[in-house]
């Protein structure tokens, strides 16, 4: 499991002062980018050096408890499954008390950088992410 921590910012909230639903995905994506950095496949590295890209083809989220400006969040990211061409990530959002206040899931598919056609995930990438 990979852990990412952040705080709800004013720009993450809606007019009522609660975490805007779309910003939960933004925070999940921030955790995803930090995870890729940690396993040696930063977004910058993939874009500049690799022959594949990893677009999100499905995303879903649930919200259990409202979050407000200043609330600290721990995002626990884990790889749910890996197939030949795709992988799924689960994100649990926990408050300071360790209570799950939301979750999300994203599905990423490997595509060739030039043709944009689906390709197999590189073995070295699969090895890097499978420990999580």
Cα 73 to Cα 51: distance, rounded to the nearest angstrom: 34
Smallest Cα–Cα separation from 132: which of 75, 79, 54, 76? 79
Q: Average model confidence (pLDDT) for the chain? A: 96
Residue 96 annotated to the active site: no
pLDDT score for 1: 93
Q: Say how far residue 23 (Cα) sits from the centre of its chain.
A: 12
Cα 70 to Cα 95: distance, rounded to the nearest angstrom: 11
pLDDT score for 131: 78
pLDDT score for 28: 98
8-49 pLDDT, tens digit per residue, is: 999 999 999 899 999 999 999 999 999 999 999 999 999 999
What are the angstrom distances between the C-alpha of 79 and each of 36, 49, 101, 105, 116? 12, 23, 19, 10, 24
For residue 112, pLDDT over 90 is answered with yes
- 72-82, strands of its sheet edge to edge: 2-7, 72-82, 86-94, 100-109, 56-63
For residue 87, pLDDT over 80 is answered with yes
What are the extents of the domains in the chain? 2-130
Residue 132: pLDDT band (50, 70, 90) is confident
Q: Which two tokens stand for residue 20?
A: 């805007």
The DSSP element (H or E) to which 36 belongs, if any, is helix 21-38
What are the angstrom distances between the C-alpha of 103 and each of 25, 66, 93? 10, 12, 6
- CATH architecture of residue range(s) 2-130: Roll (3.10)
Given the residues 14, 30, 37, 112, select the one marked as catalytic.
Answer: 14
- Model pTM score: 0.94
């Amino acid at each position: 499991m990979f852990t990412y921590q952040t705080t709800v910012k004013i720009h993450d909230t809606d007019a009522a002062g609660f975490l805007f639903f779309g910003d939960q995905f933004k925070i999940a994506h921030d955790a995803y980018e930090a995870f890729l950095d940690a396993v040696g496949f930063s977004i910058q590295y993939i874009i500049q050096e690799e022959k594949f890209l990893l677009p999100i083809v499905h995303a879903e989220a649930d919200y259990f408890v409202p979050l407000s400006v200043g609330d600290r969040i721990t995002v626990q990211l884990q790889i749910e499954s890996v197939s030949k061409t795709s992988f799924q990530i689960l994100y649990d959002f926990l408050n300071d008390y360790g209570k799950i206040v939301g979750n999300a899931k994203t599905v990423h598919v490997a595509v060739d950088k030039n043709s944009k056609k689906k390709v197999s995930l590189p073995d070295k990438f699969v090895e890097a992410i499978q420990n999580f």
